[in-house]
């Protein structure tokens, strides 16, 4: 990467290894991708709850929440920052704005991972090249792409925000899966069948992967009982 701004990278005394040792697990980025309504956010939040019960350190970056601040749209920025700023930095849903949305989120998720935290991101992130760029900025094994493979018919039937209805009526242009493409992952680390299993079951599949990859420690009987109790309360 060309650096013509005289910006220098500074190493810190507390290393990533130090933080991971303190946390008792490795940092990583778990990147949930899939159509709107596929279940990404629900699974990410369920997984976050389970990891918290287990004593792991995790955080969820959700697509809608992030667009309230870091990646706010033009109309949200005008009042506080003025029109020129809002026009330059506000993000919409064009292809280039989606690219910048994912670039910013990838950078934030990388910071969490480097701090020994399990970063959970729930974004449609429809374009394969944008997801691959995030992967390429991380060390091998740090980026875990999770394809929430839910048929569009199921997503459209759920339609929790009424977006598919608006897109079908022509009231919403450039909507992923209707008049804008979704490029499914070619070789994701995990594929979750969200139309066939519960969020708890799918979160457990991700946990099994984390343990199998040595990112999280093996589950002992006490932890298993705590997680099962959490499932009962959550259900």
Q: Which residue has the tokens 């899966």?
A: 177
- Smallest Cα–Cα separation from 23: which of 111, 107, 113? 113
- The yes-or-no answer on residue 125 being catalytic is yes
Q: Which of 41, 58, 113, 125 is catalytic?
A: 125
For the sheet with 28-33, list strands across it: 58-62, 118-122, 28-33, 143-148, 190-192
Diameter over CA atoms, the chain: 57
Give the Cα separation of 51 and 63 in Å (integer).
Answer: 20
| 3-state percent helix, strand, coil for the chain, nearest multiple of 5 | 50, 10, 40
Give the Cα separation of 99 and 215 in Å (integer).
Answer: 29
Neighbour tally for 72: CB within 10 Å: 17
Residues identified as active-site:
125
């Amino acid at each position: 990467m060309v650096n013509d701004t005289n910006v220098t990278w500074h190493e810190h005394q507390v290393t990533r290894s130090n933080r991971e040792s303190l946390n008792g697990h490795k940092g990583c980025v778990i990147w949930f991708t899939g159509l709107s309504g596929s279940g990404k956010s629900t699974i990410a939040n369920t997984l976050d709850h389970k990891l918290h019960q287990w004593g792991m350190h995790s955080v969820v970056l959700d697509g809608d929440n992030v667009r309230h601040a870091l990646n706010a749209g033009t109309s949200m920025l005008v009042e506080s920052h003025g029109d020129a700023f809002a026009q330059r930095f506000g993000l919409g849903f064009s292809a280039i704005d989606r690219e910048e949305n994912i670039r910013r989120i990838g950078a934030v998720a990388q910071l969490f991972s480097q701090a020994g935290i399990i970063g959970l991101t729930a974004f449609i992130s429809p374009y394969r090249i944008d997801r691959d760029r995030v992967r390429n900025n991380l060390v091998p094994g740090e980026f875990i792409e999770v394809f929430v493979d839910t048929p569009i018919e199921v997503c459209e039937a759920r339609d929790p925000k009424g977006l598919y209805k608006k897109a079908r009526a022509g009231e919403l242009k450039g909507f992923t899966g209707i008049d804008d493409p979704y490029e499914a992952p070619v070789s994701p680390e995990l594929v979750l069948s969200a139309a066939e299993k519960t969020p708890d079951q799918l979160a457990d599949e991700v946990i099994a992967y984390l343990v199998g990859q040595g990112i999280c420690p093996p589950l002992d009987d006490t932890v298993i009982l705590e997680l099962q109790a959490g499932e009962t309360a959550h259900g």
